[in-house]
Amino acid sequence: MATEVKIPAMGESISSGILASWQVKDGDYVSVGQALFELETDKITSEGNAEVAGTISLKVQADEEVEIGQVVALIDESATAPSGAESDTPKPEAAPQANAQPEVTPKPTAAQTPPTAAAPAPAAAPSSATPPLSPAPRKIAEETGVDLATISGSGKDGRVTKGDILQKAQAKESAPATATHAVADPASRETRKKMSPLRRKIAEHLVAATQEAAMLTTFNEVDMSAVMQMRKTHQEAFVEKHGIKLGFMSFFTKAATHALQAVPQVNARIEGDAIVSQHYYDIGVAVGTPKGLMVPVVHDCDRKNFAEIETDILNYAKAAREGRIGIQDLQGGVFTISNGGIYGSMLSTPIINHPQPAILGLHNIQERPVVRDGEIVARPMMYLALSYDHRLIDGKEAVTFLIKIKEAIEDPSRLLFGI
């Protein structure tokens, strides 16, 4: 009996994807729950797992476009599992017989020892299967051009890790150049790879945002002293109670919610010739992943405390980087926060996440001289950038919105009283 392996449904808006890679080879014996393939769509990347055990027969090549519901492999359930694959549970040892004497292997005497070296022992049997390579190391190998066959894995069961690949790539780059250089093959000077569905969707989305919106950016700067002192004062107790660190993003998420409530024109969107006002506060938080930028949404931020927001952001970021983000996690946002400061960005003009009308860009924190009470002092300062759709939001509203965020960050007690 053969069971069909089909591309699972990913949401109403997703009809196809790219079968990016197979985690198994044709003819392999697979077990229930084993990862079979990696599927890339224009929104998310996910894995397909085996629902039954048996020998798999692949029907589609890697990098091919596949439709939702398409059969990509067959699993023969009647196939016999190879030795050692039936179960990972060790079998109990037989009970020793009563009065059994321990077996003694006599040592050879000098006369029995051959004058020459003994015949070489037979080589150990090779492993029955090469440990599968996870998507992240495979992608790094493709980008660096490292030959996986030249690497001895340092991971469990000889698995090749990202560190092994990066170390090999670094050694390759630092290798001394030879005295003479052969003429390089033109084909080796470039690598052409088909754009992934996610990257293609990101490109289309960004171009559409710049073409369909009258985008403008306004700037301000914020003194981070109060937030940094508050985190320092309460961090230990916060971690002890909630099991998670108090970060900057929860402050800015609450500050953005506060600003949206104070300037409701920013919490709206344009649909055709209508303006749709939104009365909920679902904030998108941009997350960089190996596949591209994703914006999971923290829902109902006006009803959540700092710990709940920090937990949501941490879980979404981890799921996005591991390719486990769900389509429902990316829907419903009214406003987006993008933190380029974690990469060292000092200033930028972020592009709005259309059809949202605005996006807040955060940047790195630097000690800069500022004037306080007539004196020049050093303060941890951050530049803020608000990009917005000028068709919907006037300059006065944009500046007021940004000032509301600045006030809430420089005096976080305002968030407690809604002022």
pLDDT below 70 — which residues of the chain?
Answer: 11-13, 42-43, 84-137, 154-157, 162, 172-185, 187
Kindly provide the b/e burial profile for residues 370-382, where b requires at least 16 CB atoms within 10 angstroms of the residue's own CB: eeeeeeeeebebb
Q: Which of 63, 300, 394, 411 is catalytic?
A: 394
Amino acid (1-letter code) at residue 136? A
Q: Are residues 310 and 206 located together in one domain of the fold? A: yes
Amino acid (1-letter code) at residue 386? L
Bridge partners, residue 179, by sequence: none
Kindly provide the b/e burial profile for residues 143-158, where b requires at least 16 CB atoms within 10 angstroms of the residue's own CB: eeebebeebebeeeee
Q: Are residues 361 and 217 located together in one domain of the fold? A: yes
Q: At what angle do helices 225-242 and 306-321 cross, to 10 degrees?
A: 80
Range of the domain at 65: 2-81+135-151
| Residue 282 annotated in active site | no
Read off the CATH number of the domain in which 247 is found: 3.30.559.10
* Cα–Cα dist 10/44, whole Å: 9
Could you tell me the two tokens for 54? 């048996």
Q: Are 378 and 367 in contact (CB under 8 A)?
A: yes
Last residue of a domain, one of 127, 151, 175: 151
> What integer pLDDT is reported at residue 87 of this predicted model?
45
Amino acid (1-letter code) at residue 393? I
Task: Give the list of residues 6+ apart from residue 314 with CB closer than 8 angstroms, or none.
Answer: 244
| E strand segments, 59-209 | 64-67, 71-76
> How far is the CA of 264 from the CAs of 276, 335, 397, in angstroms?
11, 12, 9
Q: Are residues 143 and 214 located together in one domain of the fold? A: no
264 domain-assigned: yes
* Cα–Cα dist 386/207, whole Å: 19
> What integer pLDDT is reported at residue 127 of this predicted model?
46
| Closest to 210 measured CA to CA, from 66, 359, 349, 354 | 354
Q: What is the pLDDT of residues 52-103, one digit of tens each?
A: 998 999 998 887 888 888 899 999 888 888 876 544 444 444 444 444 444 4
3-state secondary structure of 223: strand
* Cα–Cα dist 198/288, whole Å: 13
* Cα–Cα dist 361/131, whole Å: 42
Q: Are 41 and 198 in contact (CB under 8 A)?
A: yes
Q: Are residues 142 and 201 located together in one domain of the fold? A: no
3-state secondary structure of 285: strand
* Cα–Cα dist 225/229, whole Å: 6
Half-sphere exposure for 158 (CA within 13 Å, toward CB) = 12
With tokens 């890339």, the residue in question is: 40
| Residue 302 annotated in active site | no
> What integer pLDDT is reported at residue 201 of this predicted model?
76
Could you tell me the two tokens for 295? 């914006």
Could you tell me the two tokens for 1? 């009996």
Q: Are residues 267 and 147 located together in one domain of the fold? A: no
With tokens 């940004």, the residue in question is: 402
Q: Which of 205, 242, 299, 390 is catalytic?
A: 390
With tokens 């749709």, the residue in question is: 276
The domain tally of the chain equals 2
Q: Are residues 146 and 265 located together in one domain of the fold? A: no
Q: Are residues 141 and 220 located together in one domain of the fold? A: no
* Cα–Cα dist 233/394, whole Å: 39
Q: Are residues 225 and 147 located together in one domain of the fold? A: no
Q: Are residues 342 and 223 located together in one domain of the fold? A: yes
354 domain-assigned: yes
For strand 283-285 and strand 215-223, is the pairing parallel, antiparallel, or unpaired? unpaired
Read off the CATH number of the domain in which 32 is found: 2.40.50.100
Task: Give the list of residues 6+ apart from residue 28 with CB closer than 8 angstroms, or none.
Answer: 55, 56, 129
